[in-house]
Structure 1
C-alpha cells in the first residue's frame, strides 16, 4: 500500500487507516465480537493498513485493551494513535485537560495498549476550564519522556453556525495556532467525506500549508456512503446513528442521490477492469485520498471483509471526470450536529 507522511517528523503510515472504535463502542453492540475484531486488525496489518486509531474513552477503555491484544507480536507493524482529554460521564461526555490527569491517562493507555510508546497522542477535546496551552504542554512532556512520538488534535466542538449544516473550523485553527507555539502539531483529525466536505474550506488548507497530517474521520459518512444501509431499516438502541438527524428514514431516502452518484462511478471503474468490482465505499475513500498527499482516511470497521475493501481503495485512482461528478453531487440534507 502507498505510504503517506504525518507531520514535520515525517512519520509514515499506510494511506488508509483503521478506526477501531466500532469494534467495541458506539455502533451496533450486538454485532461486536472480540475474536472477530482481532482478526480484523490482523487483516488490516496484513494489507499495509498501519494506522490504528483508538481512544481511552471508547468503551471506555475496552477499545484500547482490544487493540493491545491484537498487537501482541505485531507491534512493529502498527502506528498506534490514541486520545486523551475526554471522559464518559453518567449523563454526558466530560472534558479533562488537567496536566496531572493527562500524565496519568497516558500511563494507563500505555498499559492497556501493552506498548512502550504511543505513536500519535491526540487531544480529544479541549477542557474549557484549562488553558489549552497547559494541556498541550503536559502532552509535550510525554514526548520528551519517550512515552509519545508525536501529538495531534481532534477538531471537536469547533463548528460555527453559518449556513445549514456548516462545519467551519475557525475555532480549531485558532486553537492550533496557540498550541503550535508550545509544541509542533503533527496531525489534525476531523471529519471529511463526500457528504461532509467542510474541512476543505479552511482546516485542510491550514494543514497542507504546514505539512500537518490530516486524519479524515468518518470518511464513509458513518456507513451511509457504502450504499449498504437501507432507509428505514432502523438501528440498535446503542448505535449512535439511531439518534442522529441524518439517519432518519426520511433523510436517508433524501440523500440517496449521493450514493447513486458514487455507485455510478464505481460501476464505470468495474466495467473498465473486468473481474474487478469497485464499490461506492472505495470511490468515497479514493475521493478523500485525492484531497491531498497528507490526507489519511480512517474508516471504522468491525469485519475483515470491510478492511479488505477499504484497503483496496488506496489503489483506486479517480479520473477528472469522476472528480467532476463527485463535485456535482447534491449537498447532503439534514443536520449533522
Structure 2
C-alpha cells in the first residue's frame, strides 16, 4: 500500500487507516464481537493499513484494551493513534483539558495499549474551561518525555447546521493557530466524505499549507456511502445513527442519488475489461472503495480512517488505495447533489 507521511516526514502510515471505534462504541453493541474485532485489526495490518485509530473514551477504555492485545504481538507493524480530553459519564460526555489529567490519561493509555510509546496522541476536544495552550503544553511534555511521538487535534465533533458551519470552521482554524505556537501540530482529524465535504473549504488547505496530515474521519458517511443500508432500515437505540438526521427513512431515501452515482463509477471500474489499473481488471469495485478513493484524491496529506468491525470490510477498504479515479469520475462526484439532512 502507498505510504503517507505524518508531521515533518519522519513518520509514515499506510494511505488508508483503520478506525477502531465501531468495535466498542457508537454502533450497536449487540453486533460487536471481540474475536471478530481482533481478526479485523490483524487483517488491516496485513493489508498495509498501519494506522490504528482509537481513543480512551471508546468503551470507555475497552477499545484501547482490545488494540493492546494486537500491539502486544505486532507493535512493529502498527502506528497507534489514540486520544485524550473527553470523560464519559452516565449522562454526559465532558471535556477535561487539565494538564495533570492529560498526563494521567496518557499513562493509562500506555498501559492499556501495552506499549511504551504512542505514535500519535490527539486532543479529542478542547476544554472550554482550560486555555488550550496549557493542555497542548502538557501534551508537548509527553513528547519530550518519550511517551508520545507526535501530536494531533481532533475536530470530529464539528457537525453543525449550515448557519453554524462557517463560524465553527473559523473557530477550529483559530484553535490550530494557537496550539501551533506552542508545539507543532502533526495531524488534524475531522469529518470528510463525499456527503460531508466541508473540510475542503478551509481546514484541509490549512493542513496542506503546513505539511500537516489530515485524518479523514467518517469517510464512508457512517456507513451510508457503502450502499449497504436501505431507507427505513431501523437502528437500535444505542446506535449513533438512530439519532442522526441523515438516517431517517426520509433522508436516506432522499440521499440515494449520491450512492447511485458512486455505484455507477464502481461498475465502470469493475466491468471486467482487464485494464489492470488499481482495483480494476475484472475485480469487483464497490461504492465504498469509490468513496474512499475520492477522499484520497483530495491531496497527498489526506489519510482516510474508515471504521470497520468485520475483517471483510477492513480488507475491502484497504483495497481502495489501489483505485485511481479519473477526471471524469471526479467530475461526476463533484456534480452529485449535496446531502440532505442537517442538525437544524
Q: TM-score range by the shorter chain?
A: over 0.9
1:13 paired to 2:24? no
1:86-120 Cα deviation digits (max 9, x unpaired): 01122111000000000000000000000000000
Supply the distance in 2 between the matched residues of 1:316 and 1:333 (Cα, whole angstroms): 27
Instruction: Give the gaps of 5 or more residues in structure 1.
Output: none
Structure 1 counterpart of 2:245: 245
1:121 paired to 2:121? yes
Supply the distance in 2 between the matched residues of 1:275 and 1:30 (Cα, whole angstroms): 36
Structure 1 counterpart of 2:268: 268
1:309 paired to 2:278? no
Q: Report deviation, 1:191.
A: 0.2
1:327 paired to 2:334? yes
Structure 1 counterpart of 2:175: 175
Q: Is the 8 A contact 1:51 1:78 kept in 2?
A: yes
Q: Is the 8 A contact 2:161 2:343 kept in 1?
A: no
Q: Is the 8 A contact 1:160 1:166 kept in 2?
A: no
Q: Report deviation, 1:217.
A: 0.1
Supply the distance in 2 between the matched residues of 1:191 and 1:242 (Cα, whole angstroms): 19
Q: Report deviation, 1:279.
A: 0.3
Structure 2 counterpart of 1:65: 65
The SS at the match of 2:195 is coil
The SS at the match of 1:121 is strand
Q: Is the 8 A contact 2:72 2:115 kept in 1?
A: no
Supply the distance in 2 between the matched residues of 1:298 and 1:165 (Cα, whole angstroms): 22
Q: Is the 8 A contact 1:263 1:280 kept in 2?
A: yes
Q: Is the 8 A contact 1:220 1:284 kept in 2?
A: yes
Structure 2 counterpart of 1:37: 37
Q: Is the 8 A contact 1:161 1:167 kept in 2?
A: no
Structure 2 counterpart of 1:80: 80
1:296-336 Cα deviation digits (max 9, x unpaired): 00000000100110000000000000000000000000015
1:262-300 Cα deviation digits (max 9, x unpaired): 000000001143531000000000000000001000000
Match of 1:292 among 292, 299, 302: 299
Q: What is the TM-score of this pair, normalised by structure 2?
A: 0.95
C-alpha root-mean-square deviation of aligned residues, in Å? 1.4
* Distance verdict in 2 for CA 1:36–1:142, change over 3 Å: same
1:226-271 Cα deviation digits (max 9, x unpaired): 0000111101111000111110000000000000000000000011
* Greater than 3 Å deviation, 4+ residue runs: 156-168
Q: Is the 8 A contact 1:159 1:169 kept in 2?
A: no
Structure 2 counterpart of 1:222: 222
Supply the distance in 2 between the matched residues of 1:159 and 1:58 (Cα, whole angstroms): 19
Q: Report deviation, 1:167.
A: 8.1
Q: Is the 8 A contact 2:156 2:217 kept in 1?
A: no
How is 1:128-277 mapped onto 2 (pairs within 5 angstroms)? Answer: 128-156=128-156, 158=158, 162-163=162-163, 169-271=169-271, 272-273=273-274, 274-277=281-284
The SS at the match of 2:174 is helix
Supply the distance in 2 between the matched residues of 1:36 and 1:62 (Cα, whole angstroms): 15
Supply the distance in 1 between the matched residues of 2:331 and 2:63 (Cα, whole angstroms): 39
Q: Report deviation, 1:160.
A: 6.5
